Amino acid sequence: MTIPGTAIVLAAGLGKRLRPITDTIPKPLVKVAGKSLIDWSFDALNAAGVARAVVNVHYLADQMEQHLASRRSPVIAISDERAELLDSAGGIVKALPLIGRDAFYILNADTFWIDGPRPNLVRLAEAWDASKMDILVMVARMDQATGYEGRGDFTLDAEGRLQRFHEGDASPYIYAGAAITHPRLFDGKPVARASLNRYFDEAIGAGRLFGMPMQGHWLTVGTPEAIGEAEAVIARLGQETHG
């Protein structure tokens, strides 16, 4: 098992649902339990031994750059999207020269999790098998999530392959904002606006999208009200851990 040395942290979005907070601050810098959302991501990378993070910036990019300059670990490289917001996959394609040619993590800067007994990113690396996978995503059960308002994203079969969740399916799983993939998946793709969902669907069609159920608890902060909900869960889990 090799821990990928690099992650891309997707941080360029507009955070419209968090207005009015995000009128003046980019969503990744919104604080939850005294820590900005993107620092929750960086701390998860540190816990897994990931040395380097590429961060794409667009909205209020000067604030992002100022904050990122204050981090010492992981080492951060910035992919500048000020000229055009490229969405998740487009942002990865633009950042490929910074990411390199080895397998890498993808993290969403606006979701985070409380690990279980072992870091989930380490467990993700252990489960990664490039010979049969195009993308391996971390997934959460509905009862492991706070702040999520959807109906689920995927179903998981006995071998770990994912299919899109449809109404009536049993046991939906949520994409928990972390994945491993390989740069070859994006070879030859143009630097243009594109969503990772297209790559998920292509991998499903090829039988090469897999999921790893996370341990612990996953949190997403989509609205101002969700900040308090997340902080209550963090406080409760902290008491359970240390009490």
Task: Please give the biggest Cα pair distance in the chain.
Answer: 52
At 170, the pLDDT band (50, 70, 90 cuts) reads: low
- pLDDT for 51 beyond 60: yes
**Which structural domains are found in the chain, ordered by start?**
6-242 (3.90.550.10)
With a pLDDT cut of 70, the percent of the chain lying above it is: 96
pTM of the model: 0.92
How far apart CA 22 and CA 159 sit, in angstroms, is 41
pLDDT score recorded for residue 237: 85
With a pLDDT cut of 90, the percent of the chain lying above it is: 72
Mean pLDDT of 71-85: 91
Helices (H) and strands (E) in the chain, counts: 6, 14
pLDDT score recorded for residue 3: 87
Q: Is 239 helix (H, G, I), strand (E, B) or coil?
A: helix
Q: What is the pLDDT of residues 91-107, one digit of tens each?
A: 999 999 999 999 999 99
pLDDT score recorded for residue 15: 83
- pLDDT for 184 beyond 80: yes
Q: Do 67 and 36 contact (CB within 8 A), yes or no?
A: yes
76, containing H or E segment: strand 75-80
pLDDT score recorded for residue 238: 77
Mean pLDDT of 75-82: 94
At 163, the pLDDT band (50, 70, 90 cuts) reads: very high
- In this structure, are strands 173-181 and 104-108 parallel, antiparallel, or unpaired? antiparallel
At 175, the pLDDT band (50, 70, 90 cuts) reads: very high
pLDDT score recorded for residue 241: 46
Mean pLDDT of 188-212: 93
Mean pLDDT of 52-74: 93
Q: Do 97 and 74 contact (CB within 8 A), yes or no?
A: no
- pLDDT for 240 beyond 60: no
Mean pLDDT of 139-158: 91
pLDDT score recorded for residue 242: 41
At 243, the pLDDT band (50, 70, 90 cuts) reads: very low
Across the chain, what does the average pLDDT equal? Answer: 91
* Tokens 């507009």 found at: 14
